[in-house]
Chain A
Amino acid sequence: MTASWSTIDCDVHVNVPSMQALLPHLDEYWRDSVVDRGMNSLESISYPPNAPLTARPDWRGKGGAPANTLDALRTHALDRWNIDIAICHCLYGVQLLYSEDMAAAFAKAINDWVAKEWLDRDPRLRASIVVPMQNTEFAVAEIERCAADQRFVQVLVLCMGEMPLGRRQYWPVYEAAERHGLPLGIHAGSSYRHPVTSLGWPSWYVEDYAAQSQGFQSQLASLVCEGVFVKYPKLKVVLLESGVTWLPAFLWRLSKFWRGVRLEVPWIDRSPAEIVRDHVRLTIQPFDGPDDPAAVAKLIEHMQSDDMLLFASDFPHWQFDGDAIMPAGIPQKLHGKIRRDNALATYSRLAEQAA
């Protein structure tokens, strides 16, 4: 069966329907705390329920709420596009908590909820491990706890956290990820410790969402320059819901300036663009490309790699209409790589399961 995988969706969203859903997965103290403290929800402001981006109109359920059931995921995405494997991401505010202990408790609860309510119920589903990056030791412990379950295929962090991700303080997380064959998935989003732009707080939602690509750029620069890929040469990083088309220009800029100041980072002994092409992958929704297919084809050339793009629907977010997941203009010869091969080369656990 697995040998026939033809399509791997590297970014679908599963949403905690309410705090009640997590209660069975919290220990007694935290279960009572939810009630005692009146904690209704850990939803962040990243995807306001009524924002058009949050769910396609045809993917909204009763009362216009974004679809968040397994049936909806099956009907609208998995069955509709013959998806063989889909990697689930649960974004639920763990990264926003100031208490390290609470973050660890909720990360565990979310991962267990995902396993029980999603992975156990559809063999096509895989998931990323939500980790409490507020405390490196706890994040590593959560990876160790979940990694035994081969359906967890990635570690999930947000684009904007407390510190740049390349900092050595986080390295035990990358050591654990590399050792278990788990890529580091960096998803759009913020823990809102800092303004979402380096200039300060913007006024509008569109500014927040557009600024994510700046966050991704800074994270790539941090991971490369701090030497994470020198230290952990087998580590892969997947940018999730990052947009794609900003990448070539950013790599030209980063590599150009590296030439003049590489003395500061002597462990970077080759062009940052090469390092990124070897280690970093991006999901194709949103793509942020022009409508003209010829211009898209040109952009793909600028990537200077056929290995970097991973198929993704970003279900239920409204990134495209109809069935147009694959941006028009991506050369046909790359479709197979994007749909399947690149994911298998990125997610070693999927490659083992496909073998």
Chain B
Amino acid sequence: MAKHVIAALREFPAGTRKLVDIKGRQIAVFNIKGEFFALANRCPHQGGSLCEGRLTGLVEAKEPGEYRYSRQGEIIRCPWHGWEFDVRTGKSWCDPSRIRARQFSVSVAPGAALVEGPYVAETFAVSVEDEYVVLDA
């Protein structure tokens, strides 16, 4: 595991996502209302690209005809078969204990801290004045 600077914070606004390649591993990174989440970009079902899925909410019901809707935008649906994954945990909805997308931690760090390393900056220069999104992968 190493820390990888993947973007400047101002270039990764809320409501957007990025697909990053860390030494051949594809990782989907989401900014959801200012919080960052990262999942392996390979659906554990059949390998669909989670980064290309739709973000939706969690719908639950105690009885037929009820639709309790919460956590809007925090559930990613695989674009291939529609399976739902919680972006906060990577767990699938249908079988959370067995089927889950691998999760990575993401943080935001000031440029001043990053220049001191041990970070792997990607293809851009880090400025001490800016903040950056850092992926631990």
Contact = CB atoms under 8 A, between A and B. Distances in A.
A271 B99 CA distance: 14
A267 B83 contact: no
B62 A259 contact: no
Contacts of A271: 94
Nearest to B82: A260
Interface string B65-100: 111100000000000011110000000011100000
Interface residues of A, number: 16
Interface in A80-106: none
B116 interface: no
B59 A231 contact: no
B85 to A, nearest CB: 12
B60 interface: yes
Given A259-B81, A260-B81, A260-B82, A267 B93 contact: no
A168 B94 CA distance: 26
B24 to A, nearest CB: 29
Interface in A156-212: 168
B121 to A, nearest CB: 39
Contacts of B64: 168, 226-228, 230-231, 267
A336 B60 CA distance: 40
B49 interface: no
A263 B84 contact: yes
B63 A269 contact: no
Interface SS of A by simple majority: helix
Majority SS of interface residues in chain B?
loop
Interface string B27-67: 00000000000000000000000000000100111111111
A3 interface: no
Contacts of B65: 168, 227, 267
A267 B63 contact: yes
A263 B82 CA distance: 10
Interface string A251-264: 00000001111110
B94 A266 contact: no
Interface string A208-235: 0000000000000000001110110000
A306 B100 CA distance: 31
A262 B94 CA distance: 9
A266 B83 contact: no
**The 3 A-B residue pairs with the shortest CB-CB distance in the complex, in nearest-first order:** A227-B64, A260-B82, A267-B61
6 contacts: A168-B65, A227-B64, A262-B84, A266-B61, A266-B67, A267-B61
